[in-house]
Amino acid sequence: MSGIFSFLSYFTLSLRNNTNAGSIYANGRNEVEVVVNFIACDDNGEQIFLENSQINHNLSLCDYYTGEPIENDGWYNGNGSGEFISDGILLDSQSASLTAALMPNNVHSLSTEPMEGFLLPQSFVMRVSVGNNVFAAKSIAAIFSNEAGLVYETTARSHFESCIVLTPVAEKTYTTEDMTLCEDADRDMRSGQKTNATGKWDTSKYNQYYGFTNNQLFIKKFSINNAANQDDDVVIRSMYMPAEEQYSSHSTQILVDSMLGESVTAIGPDGTATYTKNVRPGHLCITRVDGNNVATVDNMRQSVIVTLYDQYGNKGNFTITTSDDYQASIEITD
């Protein structure tokens, strides 16, 4: 056998959803998975299965018509971090139908027809993204070579003629008009025994949730401008309000949830009370804790800038702050 294989008997491309046309956001972050299917054989025609390292080293994507690397036109292969992966189907069905109309007539998706014999294709997934201001549809083919210099292509007029077609869609920049602060909130009350006094002390916690108005979108990721790392919560208000009565002082603490945090703890005169925070995946959670004699005596008020990303990598920057010293109302602006 010459090189990593002697020849390919099957070589084709499709998207992850088993079609050959779709859309992609031109934001440099949305990655669409391209599935390359092939059957590699040895000198005797027996199928051999290649390791990922062999495939990755010898397989590349190119323009279907010219054979040039896709990077020449502002496209990227495996350039992103893999956080915003889609299968080429967007919420905009009109965009999806447009890409179908642009698909070359000689391109076919994987069919359900049985393969001859008992050989099954080996599949390898590659991810494609496209930069800003690139809006021309791209027909993408594949090139596979072995170490002996044999080259197989799925470009136009090649033996394995096959490609996928991706149409860039302008990235979306989100504003407050696209977002909503949910009216309902998760509420929780805890009570304990006061020290040096009769009666109970009470702390209450409630979560407010911020999300996309379009319920088909969800917050995939967000970053906070002044967080030490993305595992941290950020306190935007910690306020202590002494009252006339010795044991009725009040404090309010408001946190922007990192989405990775699981609980928040309020400290009262006889111990602690622990609450669950964000219980709605895909939403930004803002946690407010109110309590009597909660051991938070500092005064702090600051704004934070939060960058929200949807599942396609489109983003928006929002400022979260509070107003009204007594009610500590939450304000979110773009």
189 and 155, same structural domain? no
Q: Identify the pLDDT of residue 17.
A: 86
Does a structural domain hold residue 33? yes
| Residue-range definition of the domain harbouring residue 270 | 176-333
- CB distance 85 to 16 below 8 Å: no
252 and 110, same structural domain? no
Q: Residue 242 is encoded by which pair of tokens?
A: 């002494």
Domain boundary among 145, 170, 195: 170
298 and 274, same structural domain? yes
Look at residue 41 and tell me whether its pLDDT is greater than 90: yes
CA gyration radius, the chain: 28
Does a structural domain hold residue 288? yes
Task: Check residues 25 and 294 and name the one with the higher pLDDT.
Answer: 25
253 and 119, same structural domain? no
Segment 213-262, tens digit of pLDDT: 998 898 998 888 766 565 566 777 766 554 444 445 566 778 887 676 66
186 and 271, same structural domain? yes
Segment 151-203, tens digit of pLDDT: 999 999 999 999 999 999 999 999 999 998 887 777 777 666 555 454 555 67
Q: How confident is the model at residue 329 (pLDDT cuts 50, 70, 90)?
A: confident
Q: Identify the pLDDT of residue 297.
A: 45
Domain boundary among 170, 189, 212: 170
What percentage of the chain reaches a pLDDT higher than 70? 70
Other residues' Cβ atoms within 10 Å of the Cβ of residue 224: 20
Q: Residue 66 is encoded by which pair of tokens?
A: 């010219």
Domain count, the chain: 2
193 and 89, same structural domain? no
Q: CA nearest 225: which of 117, 302, 135?
A: 302
Least confidently predicted of 56-65, 82-91, 211-220:
82-91
Residues 6+ apart with CB under 8 A from 11: 36, 37, 38, 39, 142, 144, 152, 154, 160, 162
Q: Identify the pLDDT of residue 111.
A: 37
Q: Identify the pLDDT of residue 110.
A: 38
180 and 84, same structural domain? no
Does a structural domain hold residue 228? yes
Does a structural domain hold residue 2? no
Convert 36-65 to b/e letters by CB count within 10 Å (16 or more is b): bbbbbbeeeeebeebeeebbeebbbbbbbe
220 and 151, same structural domain? no
Segment 6-18, tens digit of pLDDT: 999 999 999 988 8
Q: Identify the pLDDT of residue 277.
A: 74
Gap between the terminal Cα atoms of the chain: 62
Does a structural domain hold residue 1? no
Segment 288-312, tens digit of pLDDT: 877 765 544 455 667 888 999 999 9
User: pTM for the whole thing?
Assistant: 0.79
230 and 126, same structural domain? no
191 and 166, same structural domain? no
